[in-house]
Chains A and B, each alone.
Chain A
Amino acid sequence: MKFAGWIRRKQAGRELDAELRFHIERRTQELQREGLSAEEARRRALVELGGTQQIKEEVRAMRTGIWLETVWQDVRYAARQLRKNPGFATVAILTLSLGIGATTSIFSVVRSVLLAPLPYSDPDRLVMIWNQYQGKPSHNASPDYFDRVEQSRTLENLAAFRSASFNLTGEGEPERLEGTLVTASFFRTLGTPPLIGRAFLEEEDRPERGDAVVLSHGAWQRRFGGKRSALGRSVRLNDRPFTVVGVMPESFSLLFPQVELWAPMAFPQEARSDKERGNESLLVVGRMKRGVSLRQTEEEMKAIAARVPETVPSRREFLTRANWSAEVVSLHEQHAGDLRPLVLMLFGSVVLVLLVASVNVANLQLVRGAGRKRELAVRAALGAGRGRILRQLCVENLCLAAMGAALGILLAWWGLQAVPLLALQESPLLGRTTMDAPVLLFALALTVVTGLLFGLAPALQSGRPEAHHALREGARGSAGAMRFLSRRALVVAEVAMALLLVVVAGLILQSFQRLLRVDPGFESSDRLTFRVSLPRSRYVGREQLQQFHKEAAARLAALPGVRAAGAVQSLPISGTRDTATIHVEGRPIQPGDKPFSCEYRMISPNYLRAMGIRLLRGRGFEESDAEGKPRVVL
C-alpha cells in the first residue's frame, strides 16, 4: 500500500520533470528564433518559468494537501466564529467536557475491570476452583487439592496457595512482610516466568527444604534497590534461613497487590491424610487445557467431589447433608464479578449524562442556527456548495467537541483519583485503572461521535439551501415550524434521560446510606489495629504465647492515651474467618438437621472492652478463664 503510493509519487515526479524540460526547450528555441544566443535564451526561459524546483514542490503539495488545506481553513474559520460567540462557546465546551470527562473516566474503569485481559499468559484458561457447601463457595483443604491434581483430565496445571505473613529479620530493620505460600506449580500455572532468577523447583516444595523465596518487584526495589545481586542472598524469615532465587515482574502483582514474597507451600506428608479434610484454607488456581470449556472443568470437579463421601465414610453423613460439591470460576470473573453490575451501571449513567450534554449543545446550536442563517446564506450565494457548508458546520462542531474533550480528559484524569473512593467492594483490578492509549483513543472516538451527534441535526437544518429566502429580510418563518418540532423532541428526550439519571442516582445514594447506617456491633472510631505473628521457633506452647499476649496487652494499655488493649485472632469484617461445627451436648443430631456451624474467634480478655462490644447477658472473659479447666465461650 505504502510502497505503491511511493512508486506513484516517484512516477508523477519524473513525469513533471519531463514536462517542464519540454516547456523550457520549446521556449528556448522560440527565444533563439527571436535572435537571442542559445545560452541567453535558455536563461530567459528558466527565469520566466520561475524555478522548476518551486513548481515541483507546489504540485506535490497540491496533490496531497488540497483537502487538508481547506479543512485547515474551516478550522480557522470555526475558531473565528466561536471567538465571536464566547458565551455560547464556553457553555457548550463546559457541557461537553463534563459529559466526555465522566464517560472517559468511567470507561477507563470498565476497561481495567472488565475488558483488559489479566497480565498472565493465555489468561482465559485460568480458573479458580472452590469447595461448595449449600451452593456457597469455600476454600479447599489440602486433600481436596491432591484429589484434583491426581484425578483431573481437563486441567493442564493446578496450584494451591494461601497467604501468610513473615517476620523479616537479619540485616536492616526487622519488618513484617505479607507473603503467599505456593506450590511449586504456581508460577507455571499462571504462565509468568520470573523477571530475573528462577521460579521454585519441585524439590524445593518439600517440608525438609522449603527454603527458597521469590520476591515481588516492589519488595525487590524497596529492600534490595532493584539490584541483580539480590539473587542468591540469604534472608531470615520467621527465624529460618531462606535464599532469594527469583524476582517476579511488576505486572505479575496485579492480582496480588499486597504480596511481597512467595515461599514454597512444602506440604507435610499428613496434608494428604483424610484427617485434614474440612480444614479448608487453600486457594486453588488451575489452567484448563486448550479447547476445554469452563463448564467441562466444573463438571469434572463436581464429579471428583462426589467421590469423596464414598471413599471417606467418616465424613459421608456431614458432606451429604451439607450438599457438598465444587465450583469453578474464571480467574477474571473471580476478581471482576462483584464489580460488574456497579461498573456497568455507572457507565450507563455517564453515557446518559453525555447524551444529555449533547442534546443541550444541539439545542444551543439550533437557537444559534436561526441567527446564523444569513451568514450561511451569504456564503452559499458567494458560491459555497451545500457539501462545503455542511463540512464547515461539522468542522465547527468537531472543534467544539475537541475542546470539550481536552478539558474533559483533564476532568477524567482528576476523576480517576476519586475512583478508589467508589470502590466499596475492593478489587485489585481497580489498581490498574489509568489513562492509557486505548482510553485516550476511546475519548477521541467519543469526541467525533458527540461532535457529529449534536451537530448533525442543526447542521442539516441550517445547511438547507434557502438562500434567497434567508437573504430577504423577515423571511424567517419558513423552516420555523420544522425547527420548533425538532427542538421539542430534543427537550422531551432530555427530560426523560435526566429523570432516569435522577432515579438511578437516588437508588445508589439510598443503598449507600443504608450501608453507612448498618450497626456492625462494634465501634470503629478511635480504634487502632495492627497485626503480630510470632515465630514458632521461639514461642513454643500455650504458656509462652499467653505470656506474650498478656505482657503485650498490659504494656500497650499502659501507654499514655490508650484506654484499652485487646487481641483477637482476626478482625471482624476483615475477610479472614475460621469456622467450626458445634454440637450441643445432650442434643443428638437428627437426620435432616443442618449442621450448626459458626465462625469463631479467639480473643483476649480486654478485646470486648477495646472494641466497644456490648454483652447481651452474662460476663466477659477474665484472665483466669485461660488457665481454668472449663473452657468458656460467648
Chain B
Amino acid sequence: MTDYKAELLQGTLDMLILKTLALEPMHGYGISQRIQQISREVFRVNQGSLYPALHRLEKEGLIEAEWGASENNRRARYYRLTKAGRKRLSAETQNWERLAAAITRILQTA
C-alpha cells in the first residue's frame, strides 16, 4: 500500500498549488516539496508538469511571480497568490467538497 502513489487527478494539481501558495509565497522547488509533504507522499507530483501548471496559473492571473533571494541566497522565482487566485481557491474548495461528499454518498448507498 505504501508503494501505491496515485497519479494526480487532472485539475487537482492547480488546486494544490493554489492551496500551497495560500500559506506563503514560494518558489517552484519549494512548492513541489511542500505538496509532496502535505499529501504524505500519496500523490506523486510529476515535477515535469509542475512548471507548465505554474506558468498557466500565472497567465490566468491567479498567481504572480517575481525574482527573490532563496534561503541559501540564490536567485529564485517566487510565486504569490493573487486576489483572483484566492477567490478561485475558495470556489474550487467548495466544489471539491460537494463532489467528494456526493461521491462518498454514492459509495455508501450503492
Contact = CB atoms under 8 A, between A and B. Distances in A.
Main secondary structure of the interface of B (DSSP, over half): helix
Contacts of A19: 27-28, 51, 76-77
A22 B55 contact: no
B47 interface: yes
B51 A59 contact: yes
B74 to A, nearest CB: 6
Interface string A14-26: 0110111011011
Interface stretch (A50-58, A86-94, A499-507): A50-58
Residue among A16, A26, A66, A383 facing the most chain B CB atoms (10 A cut-off):
A26
A66 B28 CA distance: 21
A376 B104 CA distance: 27
B29 A54 contact: no
Given A49-B48, A50-B48, A18 B75 contact: yes
B59 A22 contact: no
A139 interface: no
A15 B79 CA distance: 13
Contacts of B47: 23, 48-50
Interface residues of A, number: 22
Contacts of A20: 51
B70 interface: yes
A534 B51 CA distance: 89
Contacts of B76: 19, 22
B55 A63 contact: yes
B48 A22 contact: no
Contacts of B27: 19, 22
B28 to A, nearest CB: 6
Contacts of A23: 28-29, 32, 47
A62 B56 contact: yes
Given A49-B47, A66-B59, A22 B52 contact: no
Q: Which 6 A-B pairs have the closest CB atoms?
A: A50-B48, A58-B52, A23-B29, A26-B29, A19-B77, A59-B55
Interface of A: 15-16, 18-20, 22-23, 25-27, 48-51, 54-55, 58-59, 62-63, 66, 383
Given A49-B47, A49-B48, 9 more contacts: A19-B27, A19-B76, A22-B74, A22-B77, A23-B29, A25-B74, A55-B51, A59-B51, A63-B55
10 contacts: A19-B76, A20-B51, A22-B28, A22-B74, A27-B29, A51-B48, A54-B48, A55-B52, A59-B55, A66-B59
